[in-house]
Chains A and B, each alone.
Chain A
Amino acid sequence: MSQVVVLPRVVLDQVRAELRAAAWFAALGEPLTDGDRADADAYARALGLGTLLLGQARDWPEAERVLQAPDWSPAWWDREEAQRLRLLAEAEARYPERTLWTALTELTTELGNTVHGRAGVAAARMGGAAKASVHVAAGAAAQAAYQLALARLAEDAASPFESKFRLFAAGRWPLGVVGSRLVLF
């Protein structure tokens, strides 16, 4: 029988501190840096998508077109989802299910207003965003935070969710895979 222990507070506190310190949406549309390119490459490789061309959306309308492109890659989303489910199963094997669920819910709820506000500031500064797009951005950021917390709780340092979060932390928004391109905003 597996030994069930309480959640490691130090891990969650560390995640919270990183989420607070992240430059959510601060670099949207800015020229890509070497660090952005390296994190994007690491993210694609960790998802098993191989080397993808790197694309960039330079404003909100372009990002909105990317997010609704008919040739977006379901394989990219499904790989992430498979990773999430694997990590969730590992975390649930280590920690009491309800405690884990409550901690993850509270973490993302706490973050919700922060990322929503940051996305709203970025949209107001750049202009041109559809009203719902701020909500979309907040949803993407909160999902990334949840995925990061799962990776940390499951102690998977090689998880794609680490490099994905680094992109968000650097002010970027990885919009996903369209055709053969991983597109950053």
Chain B
Amino acid sequence: MSDPIVVKTVEDLRNAPEEYREAIAKLVISHAINELYGAQVFDEPAIAYAPTPYAKWLTCRVAMEEYGHHVRFKQLGVQMGIPEERMMPGVGKRPLSIFEFPLKTWQEFVAIKLLADLAEILQVEDLLHCTFHPLRNLARATMPEERFHAQFGEDFTAELIKTPEGKATLQAAINEYFPYLPSFFGGSKSKNNEIFRKWNIKQRTNDEMRQDFMKRATEVTTKYGLTLPEVRQAA
């Protein structure tokens, strides 16, 4: 176990060990890109599918907050000296497989908010005690909004299951989309995750997070009389 390290400012980060700096940069880049992908491929297109002006503007707000998360992570990255283009899609890092799902219906979007934003909550939770305080603080600022997005998923789930047709289409969307999600947490033998935990940047292994996600996802779907499809866990 390495000595505990706490980095309180971006300026102090410059004096941190290289492995620590690189690990922080990887996380910031990953969050900046994934938040942007999520907003672009799910949240913004979902506005058109929303059934009422109430749902449309609520979705606008969700999309705006997701774009806002990208902006926050990007601004932190810029302060750290990361070139902006490395924090935008299309340059370098490939998108995660969960972003390759083409959004086609409102029910799919509700399923994504219900389950993918739960996965996002777990990722942000793991940064709430991060030893790099600017990232920890950013995670704390982001968390209430992520919780609101998951609640959005629950609220519209509660609406959709009021009719047999609504419940069936939502279940079909869950069946189609959920298999993409477990791999969102990364491989079981991830070298990056090992380094994140070594420096107390993150707290849990990818498998621990994945198991927690499966437990919470099962709980929330069961609450609404829905089920999760069988999926092969990442190796």
Whether both chains belong to one complex is answered with: yes
A171 at the B interface (CB under 8 A): no
Choose, from A2-10, A39-47, A120-128, A139-147, the stretch at the interface. Answer: A139-147
Known: A67-B53, A67-B54, A72-B52. A136 touches B67 (CB 8 A): no
Q: Note all chain A residues with C-beta closer than 8 A to B68.
A: 109, 112
Q: Note all chain A residues with C-beta closer than 8 A to B56.
A: 77, 139
B61 at the A interface (CB under 8 A): yes
Chain B 45-59, CB-CB to A under 8 Å as 1, else 0, gives 000100011101111
A175 pairs with B67, CB closer than 8 A: no
Interface of A is mostly: helix
A109 pairs with B60, CB closer than 8 A: no
A69–B53 Cα gap in the complex (Å)? 9
A135–B57 Cα gap in the complex (Å)? 8
A14 at the B interface (CB under 8 A): no
A104 (CB) vs chain B CBs: closest residue: B67
Q: Which of B21-38 contact A (CB under 8 A)?
A: none
Contact residue among A64, A109, A137 (Cβ-Cβ distance under 8 Å from B64)? A109
| Chain A: interface size category | 20 to 34
Q: How many residues of B contact A (CB 8 A)?
A: 21
A140 pairs with B60, CB closer than 8 A: yes
B51 (CB) vs chain A CBs: closest residue: A68
A77 pairs with B71, CB closer than 8 A: no
B57 pairs with A137, CB closer than 8 A: yes
A34 at the B interface (CB under 8 A): no
Chain A 110-138, CB-CB to B under 8 Å as 1, else 0, gives 00100010000000000000001101111
Contact residue among A72, A81, A105 (Cβ-Cβ distance under 8 Å from B67)? A105
B64 pairs with A136, CB closer than 8 A: no
Q: Note all chain A residues with C-beta closer than 8 A to B53.
A: 67-68, 72, 77, 175-176
Chain A 156-181, CB-CB to B under 8 Å as 1, else 0, gives 00000000000000000001100000
Q: Note all chain A residues with C-beta closer than 8 A to B65.
A: 112
A-B contact number at CB 8 A: 62
B64 pairs with A68, CB closer than 8 A: no
Q: Note all chain A residues with C-beta closer than 8 A to B101.
A: none
Q: Note all chain A residues with C-beta closer than 8 A to B70.
A: 105
A69 (CB) vs chain B CBs: closest residue: B52
Q: How far is the CB of A60 from chain B (nearest CB, A)?
A: 12
A108 at the B interface (CB under 8 A): yes
A133–B53 Cα gap in the complex (Å)? 11
B71 pairs with A106, CB closer than 8 A: yes
Contact residue among B52, B71, B152 (Cβ-Cβ distance under 8 Å from A105)? B71
B71 pairs with A139, CB closer than 8 A: no
B70 (CB) vs chain A CBs: closest residue: A105
The residues of A with any CB-CB pair to B shorter than 8 Å are 64, 67-69, 72, 77, 81, 98, 105-106, 108-109, 112, 116, 132-133, 135-140, 142-143, 175-176
